[in-house]
């Protein structure tokens, strides 16, 4: 009876997402990973105070032509969904039930140390999996009602979610919880960008299916947010 009970609990936890939360296995199934890039180690002791980043945070839609660096991309992705406690796989943003439905991509167009293309972030190993070889900023901009900030930024952070990870436990409230969570993660990116003297903005106006197609998301993912990132235009 004890063995059966343990097995049943394991199945329940796996279904709800508590077991396996550390595994980064949700790459698009229709598109094999072409390349894996280990990101530079993120900095956990910055020179800018939290209060200063809150003061500096702004929505920025115009960027200079200067590139961002792979070190800055690493820091932004870690701020969005990086691991802060490895045993439980806890991350920089809170998640209902620690189920972590969010997925993060980076569309790189002008990033020093990173070739052009679309990459998916693996939080637990802090690495990127290349899922597309092309610079798709123009296509992504068209999918977002031709917003120039997405076309002109050297990189775009793209958030999606697998809502099923949350709905297994929270049912009809899962969509609300996922939307709360994306707000936490996006604010992390905002504050990290401010600390790096970068600009960003959240973009929610886009055609969902078009964004999914351009980025190469899995069918189970829902596109949630676009965040173009770049240096401030002088």
pLDDT in tens, 193-203: 999 999 999 99
pTM, two decimal places: 0.86
| Inter-residue long-range contacts of 30-36, CB under 8 Å, 24+ positions, other chains counted | 30/218, 31/131, 31/132, 31/216, 33/129, 33/130, 33/131, 34/130, 34/131, 34/133, 35/129, 35/130, 36/127, 36/128, 36/129, 36/130
175: domain CATH number is 3.40.109.10
**What band does 23 get if pLDDT is binned at 50, 70 and 90?**
low
Percent of the chain with pLDDT over 90: 82
* Mean pLDDT lowest among 3-12, 57-66, 158-167: 3-12
Q: Over the stretch 45-77, which tens digit does the pLDDT of each residue have? A: 999 999 999 999 999 999 999 999 999 999 999
The count of domains in the chain is: 1
| Residue that wins the pLDDT comparison between 28 and 176 | 176
Whole-angstrom Cα distance, residue 93 to residue 182?
9
Can you give the residue range of the structural domain that contains 44?
Answer: 2-231
Mean pLDDT of 218-230: 97
* Mean pLDDT lowest among 2-11, 14-23, 110-119: 2-11
């Amino acid at each position: 009876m004890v063995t059966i009970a343990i097995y049943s609990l394991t199945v329940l936890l796996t279904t709800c997402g508590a077991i396996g939360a550390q595994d980064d296995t949700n790459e698009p199934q229709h598109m094999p990973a072409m390349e894996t890039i280990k990101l530079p180690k993120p900095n956990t002791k910055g020179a800018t105070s939290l209060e200063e980043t809150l003061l500096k945070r702004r929505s920025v839609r115009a960027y200079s032509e200067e590139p961002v660096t792979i070190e800055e991309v690493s820091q932004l992705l870690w701020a969005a969904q990086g691991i802060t406690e490895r045993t439980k796989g806890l991350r920089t943003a809170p998640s209902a039930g620690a189920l972590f439905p969010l997925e993060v991509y980076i569309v790189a167009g002008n990033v020093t140390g990173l070739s052009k293309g679309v990459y998916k972030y693996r939080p637990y190993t802090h690495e990127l999996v290349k899922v597309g070889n092309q610079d798709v900023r123009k296509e992504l901009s068209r999918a977002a009602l031709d917003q120039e900030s997405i076309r002109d930024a050297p990189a775009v952070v793209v958030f999606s979610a697998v809502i099923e990870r949350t709905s297994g436990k929270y049912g009809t409230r899962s969509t609300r919880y996922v939307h709360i969570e994306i707000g936490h993660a996006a604010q992390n990116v905002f504050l990290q960008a401010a600390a790096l003297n970068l600009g960003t903005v959240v973009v929610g106006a886009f055609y969902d299916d078009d964004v999914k197609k351009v980025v190469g998301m899995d069918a189970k993912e829902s596109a949630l947010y676009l965040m173009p990132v770049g240096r401030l235009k002088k």
